[in-house]
Structure 1
Amino acid sequence: MALMRMAVAAVVLLDLGIRSTDLEAHYTNLGVLPLHVLFERAWNPYEFSIHNMSGLWQVQALLFLAAAGFAVGLLLGWRTRLMTVLSWVMLVSLQNRNPMIAQGGDDLLRMLLFWGIFLPWGRVWSKDAEGQPAPASYTHFSAATVAYVVQIALVYVCTAFLKNAPEWTTEGTAIYYALSLDQVLMPGGRLLYPHFELMRWLTHLTYYTELLLPVLLFIPVGTAFFRTVFVVVLFSFHIGISLTLFVGLFFVINFASLMGLLPAPVLNWLERKLGPATQRCAGYLGGLRQRLPAWQLPLQVQATWRPRARKPGYALLPMLRETVLYVLVGYTIWWNLDGIIAPKYTMSEPLRWFGYQFRTDQHWGMFAPAVFKDDGWYIIEGNAANGRLYDLYRNGRPVSYEKPYSVMALHKNDRWRKYSENYLFVDNSWMRPYYCNYMLRLWHLNPRNPPLKRLDVVYMKEVSLPNYQVSEPKREVLCSCEY
């Protein structure tokens, strides 16, 4: 759990770093989603966001710095529970500020922090552990650990349940269609794409891995062995995804989520392998070695920690907390199974307020129920006063309708890729003029750029077809704005 704490904190810092490169574009009133548009079009009244206090980039920058500070505190294990709560609040606030760039990994990262509030993941390998004797046991069972394990299982089981299209269950063509999407195709995917039978076999393997592998988490015997198998298989699974599909931080977040499942024997083995190297590094830093034992996981228990005597009535508080957590576990399971189970068991809207308020709402519909077929690429076509056409999506190059070699490489990061995906949907047509005007404003900020009369957001739609057929790209103008 301590290893997971550090991994989650590192991912939060990485996420903040990537998001900060689009501070103005995604989180200010000068960007693609001003506050008044957010409240009018994409806001849930149950949600909260500290980032909504201002549309100025300076305020957003301060909030980013505060969130980074809390994440560093969590990484070091300094006042761990407080840092976990503050990191969770800032993450929820940030995600609520712009839901149009959210992806499935954000749900998982948010839930890891939520359950982490109740986990003892600051007990070892932390600043808080300095001066404390080693735990009597490195095995811990509570409602919080049940919630964490159930949460990991739900991620995979529910995405398998939602993948009910024939391309997943019978045809085995889902990976073929996924790799047909140039928007997310990575170099490893290009190597795999010509091998249809291998992709068909991998499709079935993916489906049944997600559906059946979580059973290993609940086998009451050989727990260390089965959980190690679970972690190794899913590490390999997500490495494969990261090499073939552009999924942003999704695979890194999943890596972090699996750290808490590593059993003590595995960590002891790692410590024996890495211990000498750690000691050599500590020797170079002079004096650090004296402080290191409080931060590392001892191989053997050196002391027994005895809690202070508590008043008889004090025991009711842990019991109440455990009861509440088990209720939350049931609520989370119900939320996930909603839409999968029979309609008569669907969660009613009045009961959903908690999920929206505390952002325990989640949906694991990755490439479900079927793989998206409307592939293509963008051209931001600026019509200049001199009659020339400039592509603002490619730094003002002359417009070309020829398909680029790598469509995925056109996206600055996965946040923009997700934004461009949401931009296509008819239900999100309200997004289009704000992006169009944002691109126009950026263009005219540079005095060397010729003035534009009109800007067209063009999508070159290329529908994915079976059997390696190639469709003719169709030019679709999603939005036009005059300057």
Structure 2
Amino acid sequence: MSDDGPNGSAIDRLRAAAGDRLGVDRRALAAFRIGLGIVLLVDLGLRARNLTAFYTDAGVLPRAALAETYPLAARVSLHALADGPLAVAALFALAGVAAAALAVGHRTRLAAAASLALLLSLQARNPLVLNAGDLLLAHLLGVGLLCPLGSRWSIDAVRRDGGASGTGDRSGGAGDRFVGPASTLLLTVTVVVYASNAIVKLRGAAWTTGDAVGRVFRLTYLHGPLGGLVPEVPGLLSVATYGWLGLLAASPLLVLATGRLRAALAGVFVAGHLAMPFVLQIGVFPLVSVVGLLPFFPPAVWDRAERRVAPVATRVGGVVRAPRSGPSGPGSVARRVAAAGRRAAPVVAAVLLAALLCWNALAIGVVATPEPVAAVSDPAESGWDMFAPDPPTTDRLVLATAATADGDRVDALYGDVVAADRPPTEARAYPTARWRKFLTLLADSPEPTRTRHLLGHLCDRAGGRADAAVERVEVSFVSVDVVDGETRVASLGERRCDRR
């Protein structure tokens, strides 16, 4: 039957509806690409503050300990081949170059592939400091490889158009929308995170009774710069609890809705995530989440954005020139490889989409985990259970004390002078979100080898900051129940610093 008949018209309407919901504006992909590059640079900068501590043999997880605890990670990590701070710093710099190239769209697929490989290598070098933001960043970057991230607002686009602005005249047109399994996968990743988290939260008591947000803000070890200033107003905190839970439950509308409703919902999510770093110390997760939301914004948003960036794009187009490449030169080979990749991308995306949905169904318990899968992995361990089903009820702080030869006491993590006999009330939060992740994991499972490496690193860390030689270090954890105020102190251990 001809497409001009009733059935054809219905099919056309169905395709249009699917395209509106599962397609992504190519300018949104460009913003997504720029955001990924920026987040990768921010992540590298934050990690670089503790480069020696977390990624070298002088830190808390030397390569021998990594190989013993995580043999697969040790084999696949390029960073595990680096034997000192300079070599690791060189890999950080290489990752920074790749991230910058991704942000500006220079050889975009190569930059994305290099960024993903270096990110996974860095994450494998120390799995003990990873959080949900790291997993989400790897997911988004991997899916981005299957999408035409460099088709707009990029150096690649400018060169492809022969030195034009790279914005073209396709604003808002059908040809400016990327639709297929890869676009569906990109949108689904973000929705799965929110929907899975909502389902797990609904199984707890704190979220359904309105207590969760108030409980989170009583955990001082999670406080961001303004975390301690959040007012203790039960009604307001209860509204925040129900509001965030309702937003998570409504997250499927990010795909099911279109136009202003989708834009408004994505905008509220973005606003919530942008507020998080000010009140919570949770690493790059909020920024990664914002980047993951960019593909949901409709063409009208990008029409305005394009008008604003047009003058800059025009100037860039005047500087960047299309590369010269003969029909049989290297450029031709690269084009053939790129064409093969574009043909394979939809198939790969469809397989990954099915795997994503199945794995998360197992993780939240909607489907029972098959015995063969359970024998090698627990899907629940990689689920999106942030503050779910209930937030912790224990504020977990640390006392890391170094004793010097002249009788002073120095905080081994922060480096400042502290009381000779530090009471539990002087316990402190953690210098960074990654230190918190590492130390709280160690508090839950005080593994002797890991403890020994931590104490050895703290000897060196404190010795570099103290005026006199450091003789010994000791670490204790202080737990304060935020409900009844009960305080418990548990010693992790101590070590003489002249023993190697």
Normalised by the shorter chain, which TM-score bucket?
0.7 to 0.9
| Equivalent residue, structure 2, for 1:421 | 440
| Equivalent residue, structure 2, for 1:68 | 96
| Equivalent residue, structure 2, for 1:176 | 214
Q: Does 1:204 align with 2:242?
A: yes
SS of the equivalent of 1:10 reads: helix
| Equivalent residue, structure 2, for 1:195 | 233
Q: Does 1:435 align with 2:463?
A: no
Between the aligned partners of 2:277 and 2:182, the Cα distance in structure 1 is: 30
SS of the equivalent of 1:398 reads: coil
Over the aligned positions, Cα root-mean-square deviation in angstroms equals: 3.2
Q: How far does residue 178 in structure 1 lie from its aligned partner after superposition? A: 0.6
Q: How far does residue 288 in structure 1 lie from its aligned partner after superposition? A: 4.9
Change (3 A) 1:343 1:149: closer
Amino acid aligned to 1:432: T
Of 384, 393, 408, the residue aligned with 2:413 is 393
Between the aligned partners of 2:454 and 2:116, the Cα distance in structure 1 is: 29
Asked if the contact 1:422/1:428 (under 8 Å) is kept, the reply is no
Moved more, 46-55 or 226-235: 46-55
| Equivalent residue, structure 2, for 1:89 | 117
Asked if the contact 1:23/1:57 (under 8 Å) is kept, the reply is yes
Q: How far does residue 107 in structure 1 lie from its aligned partner after superposition? A: 0.9
| Equivalent residue, structure 2, for 1:148 | 186
SS of the equivalent of 2:390 reads: coil
| Equivalent residue, structure 1, for 2:76 | 48
SS of the equivalent of 2:205 reads: helix
Q: Does 1:370 align with 2:408?
A: no
Unaligned stretches of 5+ in structure 1?
295-307, 309-313
Between the aligned partners of 2:32 and 2:493, the Cα distance in structure 1 is: 44
Q: Does 1:250 align with 2:285?
A: yes
| Equivalent residue, structure 2, for 1:59 | 87
Amino acid aligned to 2:201: K
Between the aligned partners of 1:293 and 1:231, the Cα distance in structure 2 is: 37
Query: How many pairs does the alignment contain?
Result: 442
CA deviation vs aligned residue, 1:97-139 (integer Å, no higher than 9, x gap): 0111111111111111100101011001111112435467211
| Equivalent residue, structure 2, for 1:301 | none
Amino acid aligned to 1:448: D
Change (3 A) 1:436 1:97: same
Moved more, 368-377 or 165-174: 165-174
Q: How far does residue 192 in structure 1 lie from its aligned partner after superposition? A: 3.2
SS of the equivalent of 1:183 reads: helix
Amino acid aligned to 1:225: R
For residues 318-329 of structure 1, the aligned pairs below 5 Å read 321-329=345-353
Asked if the contact 1:28/1:57 (under 8 Å) is kept, the reply is yes
Q: Does 1:264 align with 2:288?
A: no
Change (3 A) 1:47 1:370: farther
Amino acid aligned to 1:243: F
Change (3 A) 1:55 1:318: closer
Between the aligned partners of 2:151 and 2:339, the Cα distance in structure 1 is: 21
Asked if the contact 1:160/1:207 (under 8 Å) is kept, the reply is yes
Q: Does 1:455 align with 2:473?
A: yes
Moved more, 391-400 or 147-156: 391-400
Q: How far does residue 386 in structure 1 lie from its aligned partner after superposition? A: 5.2
Amino acid aligned to 1:401: P
Q: How far does residue 225 in structure 1 lie from its aligned partner after superposition? A: 2.2
Moved more, 144-153 or 368-377: 368-377
SS of the equivalent of 2:490 reads: strand
Change (3 A) 1:123 1:438: same
SS of the equivalent of 1:397 reads: coil
Q: How far does residue 77 in structure 1 lie from its aligned partner after superposition? A: 0.8
Between the aligned partners of 1:351 and 1:376, the Cα distance in structure 2 is: 33
Between the aligned partners of 1:445 and 1:269, the Cα distance in structure 2 is: 52
Change (3 A) 1:165 1:457: farther
CA deviation vs aligned residue, 1:263-322 (integer Å, no higher than 9, x gap): 2211112333x35xx63x789xxx65735999xxxxxxxxxxxxx9xxxxx999866542
Amino acid aligned to 2:495: C
SS of the equivalent of 1:247 reads: coil
Of 230, 236, 243, the residue aligned with 2:271 is 236
SS of the equivalent of 1:348 reads: helix
Q: How far does residue 447 in structure 1 lie from its aligned partner after superposition? A: 7.7
Between the aligned partners of 1:379 and 1:181, the Cα distance in structure 2 is: 16
Of 24, 30, 36, the residue aligned with 2:52 is 24
| Equivalent residue, structure 2, for 1:470 | 485
SS of the equivalent of 1:107 reads: helix
CA deviation vs aligned residue, 1:328-369 (integer Å, no higher than 9, x gap): 11111111121323563447338979x99xxxx943111122
CA deviation vs aligned residue, 1:389-444 (integer Å, no higher than 9, x gap): 44323424133326359x45xx3332222222223212656422211111112333
Between the aligned partners of 1:427 and 1:140, the Cα distance in structure 2 is: 50
Between the aligned partners of 1:412 and 1:368, the Cα distance in structure 2 is: 24
Q: Does 1:380 align with 2:400?
A: yes
Between the aligned partners of 1:375 and 1:95, the Cα distance in structure 2 is: 27
CA deviation vs aligned residue, 1:56-80 (integer Å, no higher than 9, x gap): 2222111111111111111111111
Change (3 A) 1:186 1:23: closer
Q: How far does residue 173 in structure 1 lie from its aligned partner after superposition? A: 1.2
TM-score (norm 1): 0.82
Q: Does 1:120 align with 2:120?
A: no
CA deviation vs aligned residue, 1:235-254 (integer Å, no higher than 9, x gap): 12213323322222211111
Asked if the contact 2:395/2:480 (under 8 Å) is kept, the reply is yes
| Equivalent residue, structure 2, for 1:105 | 133
Between the aligned partners of 1:380 and 1:44, the Cα distance in structure 2 is: 32
| Equivalent residue, structure 1, for 2:495 | 481
Q: Does 1:344 align with 2:368?
A: yes
